Structure 1
């Protein structure tokens, strides 16, 4: 129904922002990622929107990026996953990290999200894996190298895995003696598959 909303950012609370447009304040539910990236109150902002209508519910969800909106809609398409759970997932991890979890069958990381149990996490991976095959994953998460380690692709991969919730020792063990010439993306995929197999 609505593609986007542009107006003045006037207020925010834990899980929504209010955008005033044409004298009307629109309550847009959103993720912590979008809330933390919003400019100061009083600034102009545009959010990509999704309208959720069900019985007596008419809610607007807004996101700063089309990618976050796209993954929100993917999550809504998973059986048993509603808007609250979808927002929780995307508040806990970036779209890139979410895509990595699905591609690598990393159910463990998904179960760390509040309200997402093993069964729900399994359904998310099962139902979205094919859709994620075309997703272009970043070569780097733009993170600092893991402490007390030499810089390089393996160190970057370990840092990314730590951000996903694994300990540095778990990440290092999963990577083993991997070739430094492999891309960070390949190393992370390999490690997540190893870690998921142990979950």
Structure 2
């Protein structure tokens, strides 16, 4: 199993990065976010996942552990293959993915091309328990529960932290709120919840 590739980035195109290691170019299927992170870099390191099937051997590369972990979780869901996994992680970052799962926000997944309602609901159902205990680093700093990052929820967390609440307090206050609500409403509801304790 190839754990990672470190070498010269010699080619990129849609959903593909080619890394040359020891004179061999390894084609890694990847996400839009990884391509954006490595754009313009001469030397790169990609964490990899190798998929071996009867008709194909494919290598998938990711810029960070969070994205690789999210990819592995996605392809563990029945009916979600590597192509769908890459599409989802090209549309949302690992934090947004985890938040959507944690809050059973299947609508976020149906906005991704090729993901239908049933598949989206299956992703939320099968992965909810798996992401519940996960932590993901935010902005390369402290690890926080996955349910506290991304979109309106992320903005609400930041606002609550500015008001003096800890990350844990803010996360607890928004964990049961509807992520589709406007930020202002989320803040009001979170503050009401925090006032009760």
Question: What TM-score results when the alignment is normalised by the length of structure 2?
Answer: 0.75
Q: What is the Cα deviation at residue 179 of structure 1?
A: 4.0
Map 1:112-151 to 2 at 5 A: 112-136=111-135, 137=145, 139=148
SS at match of 2:58: strand
The one of 159, 165, 170 aligned to 1:152:
159
Distance 1:173 1:118 in 2: 29
1:47 aligns to what? 46
SS at match of 1:116: coil
Distance 2:88 2:5 in 1: 23
The alpha-carbon distance between structure 1 residues 67 and 182, as it changes in their structure 2 partners (threshold 3 A), is farther
SS at match of 2:191: coil
Tell me if the contact between 1:17 and 1:29 (Cα under 8 Å) persists in the aligned partners.
Answer: yes
Runs of 4+ that moved beyond 6 A: none
SS at match of 2:46: strand
SS at match of 2:79: coil
Structure 2 unmatched runs, 5+: 136-144, 163-169, 171-178
Higher relative contact order, chain-length normalized (CA < 8 Å, sep 6+): 1
SS at match of 1:18: strand
The two structures, once aligned, show a CA RMSD in angstroms of: 3.0
Distance 2:21 2:124 in 1: 38
Question: What TM-score results when the alignment is normalised by the length of structure 1?
Answer: 0.74
Distance 1:74 1:142 in 2: 21
